[in-house]
Amino acid sequence: MLLLRRPKTGCSMEFRVRAVVEDAKATFRDRLGELCTRSGFTHFLVCQYPNCGTAPLVENIVATNWPAAFLRGYADVDIRSERSFLGHFRSSIALIREVDIKTPPDVTRSLSGFFPCSIAYTLFTSARQQYVFVMSSPSPEIDDAAIGQAIFETMEYLARLTERRPLRPDISQRETECLFWAAAGKSSEDIGAILCLSSHTVNDYLKSAMKKLESINRTQAVAKATRLGVI
C-alpha cells in the first residue's frame, strides 16, 4: 500500500534556506569538537577574514567553543587591527605556532592563561573567501602531527560547509499539492476533482512547477521535487 505524506506548506524559501545554513554550521561545530577530542585540542575558533574594511571579531565568528566571558573581551576588536592576535593574516598566510591570545582585563582570574598553547592558520575556499582557524591545547607544545591533522581535516570541513548546494525552488502551495497527487499516480482530471480545480488549472500549476524545477516532463518534475524534499 502506498503511504502518502501531506504536502509541505507554510515555510518560506528564506526560512528554509536559513535552516539549511544553521544546520550546516551545527554540523561544522560538531566536527570541530570531534577533531579536538581526537587530536588533543580543547578549544577552537573559526572566523571569516574579510580582505578589507572593519571586521569585528565577534561578528565574524563561524564556530567556537570559547567561553562567552572571554569572547566579550574581544567584542570591539577588529580582526585586521594590530590589537588583534589575528592581525598577522592581513599580509601573511603563514601558520602561527604560538598565538598570543591575551586575557581581556575584565574577565575573571579563572580564565587567565586559559589558552596555554594555540596555533592559528588560514584557509581559503574555492570562492576565495578567507577563514582563520585557532586551535588551542592544554599542552605546552603542539606536535607537528596534531597540527597536520588539524589542517587537513579542517580543509575538508570548510569545503563541506561552504560548497554551493542547489536550493529548493520556491514552489507554491497549489503547485506542491498538484505534484503530490501526481506522484501518487493521479491524472490531471483526478487531481482537479480532489482539489476542486479544473484539469486545465491543474495542468497550469504542473507546468509552472516543471519550469521552476527545470524539468521537461511531469515524471521528471515529481522525481526532482521528491529528491529536493518539496513533496
φ, ψ (nearest 5 deg) of residue 27: -65, -40
The pTM for the full model equals: 0.61
> What does the block give as the cell for 136?
588551542
> What does the block give as the cell for 24?
550546516
Alpha-carbon separation of residue 166 from 13, 146, 190, 197 (angstroms): 13, 35, 32, 31
pLDDT per residue as tens digits for the range 118-165: 899 999 988 788 999 999 888 878 889 989 999 999 999 998 888 755
Please give the residue that has the higher pLDDT: either 149 or 231: 149
Q: What whole-number percentage of the chain has pLDDT above 90? A: 32
Q: Residue 71 — pLDDT band, cuts 50, 70, 90?
A: confident
Q: How many residues does the chain have?
A: 231
Q: Is residue 12 left, alpha or beta, with left meaning phi > 0 and alpha meaning psi from -120 to 50?
A: beta
Give the Cα separation of 88 and 82 in Å (integer): 8
Q: Report the chain's mean pLDDT, rounded to a whole number.
A: 81
Domains of the chain: 15-162 (3.30.450.40), 171-227 (1.10.10.10)
Q: In 26-38, which positions are buried (b, 16+ CB within 10 angstroms) versus exposed (e)?
A: eebbebbeebbee
Which of 60-64, 110-114, 187-191, 201-205 bottoms out in mean pLDDT, i.e. has the lowest?
110-114
pLDDT per residue as tens digits for the range 104-115: 666 555 555 567
Q: Residue 2 — pLDDT band, cuts 50, 70, 90?
A: very low
Give the Cα separation of 167 and 224 in Å (integer): 12
Q: Residue 210 — pLDDT band, cuts 50, 70, 90?
A: very high
Give me Rg for the CA atoms of the chain.
25
